[in-house]
């Protein structure tokens, strides 16, 4: 994997340039100055690039000389030492550091990584003859093989090797630096060259893939806290897809910690750092889908560790997919909630009358859970039959593919139901069942029964009232006729035997009889306007008023009354009842203006509280508004019979007629200044 | 005029008295036959019961028929009269206290010749009877069939 992440390291040696992690170089030197000339720039490059740099000294150039050489070349020398990025150690001391000598470089590299460095840059200078070299060469080779970020330079004294010896040493390294006259030359081992070429080609391929892949790719180094627990990670390399998906530019994040780049990520409900830490430390790959609260997106993540302490991730944005899934889930939840909250009993039935699905209302009526309904035969579980009953609308829907409705009485479910079955078709248009909705109409049925019973009772009561009225009208009048008739007979036949007083009293009997007959007629009229069936037809109230006025004038032709009737008052209603109403209202106006000098009676259309009202207005006796509540009550009178004759039933009758037309009536008046009666007829759309 | 009979069918004796008085006051002195209810009226008209053997060629020039009566009411009498060829052409005046529309309509449907409501005021009643008497006894030409022997 190396190289793809641009983990090429600057050697600081211009002849060599950049090399990948896992490179071991060698130098053949003759003087201590040779060592300083090559190794100091090498170390400085490492320090600059955040690598842990270790110089293992031996023989000709010791710890002190190295320290002095570096101090001279490096202004920040003390800082690096203080930060423990730079270590100068003698070979004998270094040798006893590791418990397992073969893995000492691996251990040291890992430690460097966990301390937050990119890797380990190590120098072995003034190495002894070939024989002893294995002691430090093998651990480096083992670390390179294990994929650790290690870069090593071995410095051999030139004079200790013959030409063959030099070539043998070169073969063990990727390249060798050797001084020829006063120039440094690079000798590359043939094997290293072949391997490098192959690597280069493969790198190019991978690099292209890396650049062009649709998934985001990022390579990171994990950062551990003092307890060795993952606490952060550093971006090392990202591809453009990653930049796009995460919305962060490479140059802004490379080399930076994620807690700097995405502050708050450590508080995200997904423990990104912990998850990645596990991958980087255990080497076990991890695939997961997670929501990033910081980025507000859903990601599908594959994380793996190419070598300990490092991890790579490929990510794709699945927010759209997730939101689609969420929508689906929400739609499903909503649908189920609705389905289960409908009070109607709903079941989806297949063509074999089996329940595919039932809602809560259905299931609870059957005393089971919705799941327990599935697969049961509807006719069995609901009606207790062995086959679908004759009234079953689902059977009809299965036969003809149309909706059917039936009213079903099912004592097992405790009531009456209005059952409808709506066919369900599959995508091919085949009938696969029906939606069976049963609405409990028991209450409605009961209400209907009650209504029917009350209507019947009312009809009987009405009949009784009719026959009572008939009796009243016929039988109550007969004695009155006798009282009147015999009084008259006495007045005629025994006139000579009666004085004026006697005659007057017989006349009183006659007048009373007639008054009572009038009362009977009015009561019957009132009960009649309540009972009679309305016959609605167009009515011209203006014409009707004039015809009534004509009759009124004939009763007292001597009176001069100014009638003002608005023309064209068209409405609809029962003309007979409206005639009675207008006769009463106009009759009253006529009656109560009897003592007026200039009687004036108006009939027209006006507005009252925004509603259209008819009005009949006179300038007659009027009435005291304090008693207006009594106006429309039967037998209640605001004037004495001697002042103005009447039975006190007229306005009660009028009100009954107006109410039967869906209208309202009210009156305003003032004693001695007239009265206005307002009425509406909603029946007529007024 | 002396051979023209008036049949009054009414269960109320006072009403019958007042009707007779009114007729008399209008100088209508025809023979008056009174039937106390519908059964008696039909007995007279059809020569049954106590009228068995009555000369059925003598039929009332007008029948004043009350509606509400015991045993058989006025509408049933009217119906029977109109179904029987013997009585079918006879002029009938329904004279009653009722002014129920149903009664008026039904009476005309069954073939009454007139419908008069009895007013409580005797003077008005007498006036009505006077008009009736004059019309049916004087002006109206009765159907000739009732004189056919």
Report the pLDDT value the prediction gives residue A520, as an integer from 0 to 100. 85
Cβ A155 vs Cβ A167: under 8 Å: no
Which chain B residues are within 8 Å of A522, Cβ to Cβ?
none
Edge-to-edge strand list for the sheet holding A674-679: A561-565, A599-608, A611-618, A674-679, A665-670
Residue pLDDT, tens place only, A561-612: 899 999 999 998 999 899 999 999 999 899 889 888 889 999 999 988 888 8
Q: How many CA atoms lie within 13 A of A296 on its CB side?
A: 0
Cβ–Cβ of B98/A489 closer than 8 Å? no
Look up residue B58 and give its two tokens: 């003598």
Specify which residues A27 forms β-bridges with. A155, A177
Choose among B117, B130, B17, B8: nearest CA to A482.
B17
Cβ–Cβ of B120/A474 closer than 8 Å? no
Report the pLDDT value the prediction gives residue A681, as an integer from 0 to 100. 87
C-alpha A105/C-alpha A126 separation (Å) is 19
Q: Is the pLDDT of residue A548 over 80?
A: yes
The verdict on A664 touching B (C-beta cutoff 8 Å) is no
Choose among A678, A629, A683, A635: nearest CA to A659.
A683
Cβ–Cβ of A470/B98 closer than 8 Å? yes
Distance from CA of A514 to the nearest CA of B (A): 6
Cβ–Cβ of B68/A477 closer than 8 Å? no
Report the pLDDT value the prediction gives residue A111, as an integer from 0 to 100. 84
Q: Which residue in chain B has the smallest CA separation from A516?
A: B120
The verdict on A397 touching B (C-beta cutoff 8 Å) is no
Q: What average pLDDT does this structure show over B119-148? A: 80
Cβ–Cβ of B122/A489 closer than 8 Å? yes
Give residue ranges of B with CB < 8 Å to any A CB: 12, 14-15, 17-18, 21, 67-68, 96-100, 118-123, 125
pTM: 0.47
Interface test with B, best of A466, A472, A485 (most B CBs within 10 A): A485
Nearest neighbour of B98 by CB, restricted to A474, A482, A488 = A474
Which chain B residues are within 8 Å of A467, Cβ to Cβ?
none
Chain-centre distance of CA A264, in angstroms?
29
Q: What average pLDDT does this structure show over A498-523? A: 89
Residue pLDDT, tens place only, A317-349: 888 888 888 889 999 999 989 988 998 999 999
Cβ–Cβ of B99/A489 closer than 8 Å? no
Q: Is the pLDDT of residue A98 over 70?
A: no
Q: Is the pLDDT of residue A647 over 80?
A: no
Which chain B residues are within 8 Å of A517, Cβ to Cβ?
120-121
Report the pLDDT value the prediction gives residue A614, as an integer from 0 to 100. 94
Cβ–Cβ of B120/A470 closer than 8 Å? no
Distance from CA of A499 to the nearest CA of B (A): 21
Report the pLDDT value the prediction gives residue A585, as an integer from 0 to 100. 92
Higher pLDDT, A293 or A201: A293
Report the pLDDT value the prediction gives residue A367, as an integer from 0 to 100. 84
Q: What average pLDDT does this structure show over A162-166? A: 80
Q: What is the share, in percent, of chain A residues with pLDDT greater than 70?
A: 93
The verdict on A332 touching B (C-beta cutoff 8 Å) is no
Q: Is the pLDDT of residue A1 over 80?
A: no
Cβ–Cβ of A473/B121 closer than 8 Å? no
Which chain B residues are within 8 Å of A519, Cβ to Cβ?
none
Q: What is the share, in percent, of chain A residues with pLDDT greater than 90?
A: 22
Q: Is the pLDDT of residue B1 over 50?
A: no
Cβ–Cβ of A473/B96 closer than 8 Å? no
Report the pLDDT value the prediction gives residue A4, as an integer from 0 to 100. 43
Interface test with B, best of A468, A475, A481 (most B CBs within 10 A): A481
Cβ–Cβ of A513/B15 closer than 8 Å? no
Report the pLDDT value the prediction gives residue A7, as an integer from 0 to 100. 64
The verdict on A510 touching B (C-beta cutoff 8 Å) is yes
Dihedral over alpha carbons A181, A184, A189, A193 (to 10 degrees): -140
Cβ–Cβ of B14/A481 closer than 8 Å? yes
The structure tokens 């991730």 sit at A313
Cβ–Cβ of A481/B96 closer than 8 Å? no
C-alpha A638/C-alpha A626 separation (Å) is 11
The verdict on A514 touching B (C-beta cutoff 8 Å) is yes
Edge-to-edge strand list for the sheet holding A183-188: A86-90, A52-57, A120-124, A150-157, A23-29, A175-180, A183-188
Q: What average pLDDT does this structure show over B134-139? A: 83
Q: Is A162 exposed, middle or buried (0-12, 13-18, 19+ CB in 10 A)?
A: exposed
Strand, helix or coil for residue A352: coil
Cβ–Cβ of B97/A474 closer than 8 Å? yes
Report the pLDDT value the prediction gives residue B16, as an integer from 0 to 100. 93
Report the pLDDT value the prediction gives residue A627, as an integer from 0 to 100. 79
């Amino acid at each position: 994997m190396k190289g793809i992440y641009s983990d090429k390291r600057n050697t600081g040696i211009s002849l060599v340039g950049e090399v990948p992690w896992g490179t071991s170089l060698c130098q053949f030197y003759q003087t201590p100055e040779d060592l300083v000339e090559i190794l100091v720039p090498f170390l400085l490059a490492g320090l600059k690039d955040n690598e842990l740099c270790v110089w293992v000294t031996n023989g000709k150039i010791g710890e002190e000389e190295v320290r002095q050489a570096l101090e001279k070349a490096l202004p920040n020398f003390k800082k690096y030492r203080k930060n423990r990025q730079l270590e100068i150690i003698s070979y004998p001391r270094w040798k006893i550091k590791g418990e397992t000598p073969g893995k000492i470089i691996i251990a040291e590299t890992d430690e460097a990584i966990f301390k937050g460095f990119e890797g380990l840059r190590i120098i072995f200078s003034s190495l002894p003859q070939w024989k002893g070299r294995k002691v430090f060469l093998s651990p480096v080779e083992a670390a390179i093989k294990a994929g650790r970020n290690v870069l090593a330079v071995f410095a051999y004294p030139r004079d200790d090797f013959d030409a063959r010896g030099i070539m043998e040493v070169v073969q063990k390294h990727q390249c060798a630096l050797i001084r020829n006259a006063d120039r440094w030359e690079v000798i590359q081992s043939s094997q290293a060259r072949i391997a490098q070429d192959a690597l280069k080609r493969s790198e190019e391929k991978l690099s292209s893939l890396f650049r062009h892949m649709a998934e985001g790719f990022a390579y990171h180094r994990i950062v551990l806290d003092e307890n060795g627990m993952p606490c952060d990670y550093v971006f090392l390399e990202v591809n453009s897809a990653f930049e796009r998906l995460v919305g962060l530019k490479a140059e802004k994040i490379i080399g930076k910690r994620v807690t700097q780049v995405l502050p708050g990520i450590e508080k995200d409900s997904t423990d990104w750092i912990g998850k990645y830490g596990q991958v980087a430390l255990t080497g076990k790959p991890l695939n997961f889908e997670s929501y990033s609260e910081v980025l507000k997106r859903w990601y599908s993540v594959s994380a793996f560790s190419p070598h300990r302490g490092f991890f790579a991730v490929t990510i794709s944005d699945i927010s759209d997919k997730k939101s689609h899934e969420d929508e689906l889930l929400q739609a499903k939840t909503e649908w189920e909630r609705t389905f289960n909250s409908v009070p109607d009993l709903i079941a989806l039935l297949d063509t074999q009358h089996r329940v595919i699905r039932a809602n809560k209302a259905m299931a609870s009526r059957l005393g089971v859970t919705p799941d327990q309904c599935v697969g049961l035969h509807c006719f069995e579980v609901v009606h207790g039959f062995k086959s679908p009953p004759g009234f079953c609308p689902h059977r009809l829907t299965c036969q003809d593919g149309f909706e059917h409705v039936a009213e079903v009485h099912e004592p097992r479910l405790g009531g009456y139901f209005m059952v409808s079955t709506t066919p369900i078709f599959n995508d091919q248009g085949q009938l696969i069942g029906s939606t069976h909705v049963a609405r409990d109409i028991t209450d409605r049925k009961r209400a209907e029964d009650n209504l029917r019973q009350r209507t019947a009772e009312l009809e009987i009561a009405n009949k009784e009232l009719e026959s009572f009225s008939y009796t009243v009208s016929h039988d109550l009048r007969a004695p009155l006729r006798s009282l009147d008739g015999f009084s008259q007979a006495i007045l005629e036949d025994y006139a000579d035997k009666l004085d004026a007083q006697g005659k007057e009293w017989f006349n009183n009997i006659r007048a009373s009889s007639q008054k009572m007959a009038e009362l009977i007629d009015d009561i019957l009229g009132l009960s009649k306007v309540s009972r009679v069936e309305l016959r609605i037809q167009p009515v011209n109230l203006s014409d009707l008023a004039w015809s009534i006025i004509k009759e009124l004038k004939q009763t007292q032709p001597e009176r001069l009354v100014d009638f003002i009737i608005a023309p064209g008052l068209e409405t609809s209603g029962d003309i007979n009842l409206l005639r009675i109403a207008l006769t009463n209202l106009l009759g009253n106006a006529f009656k109560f203006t009897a003592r007026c000098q200039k009687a004036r009676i108006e009939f027209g259309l006006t507005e009252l509280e925004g509603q259209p009202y008819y009005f009949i207005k006179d300038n007659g006796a009027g009435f005291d508004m304090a008693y207006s509540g009594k106006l429309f009550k039967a037998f209640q009178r605001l004037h004495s019979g001697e002042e103005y004759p009447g039975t006190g039933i007229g306005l009660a009758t009028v009100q009954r007629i107006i109410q039967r037309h869906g209208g309202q009536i009210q009156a305003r008046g003032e004693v001695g200044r007239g009265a206005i009666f307002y009425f509406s007829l909603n029946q007529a759309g007024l | 005029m002396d051979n023209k009979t008036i049949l009054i069918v009414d269960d109320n004796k006072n009403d019958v008295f007042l009707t007779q008085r009114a007729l008399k006051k209008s100088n209508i002195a025809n023979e008056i036959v009174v039937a106390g209810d519908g059964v008696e009226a039909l007995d007279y008209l059809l020569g049954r019961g106590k009228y068995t053997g009555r000369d059925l060629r003598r039929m009332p020039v007008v029948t004043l028929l009350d509606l509400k009566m015991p045993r058989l009411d006025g509408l049933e009498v009217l119906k029977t009269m109109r179904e029987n060829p013997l009585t079918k052409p006879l002029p009938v005046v329904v004279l009653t206290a009722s002014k129920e529309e149903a009664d008026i309509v039904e009476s005309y449907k069954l073939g009454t010749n007139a419908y008069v409501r009895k007013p409580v005021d005797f003077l008005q009643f007498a006036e009505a009877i006077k008009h009736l008497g004059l019309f049916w006894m004087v002006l109206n030409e009765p159907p000739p069939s009732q004189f056919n022997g």
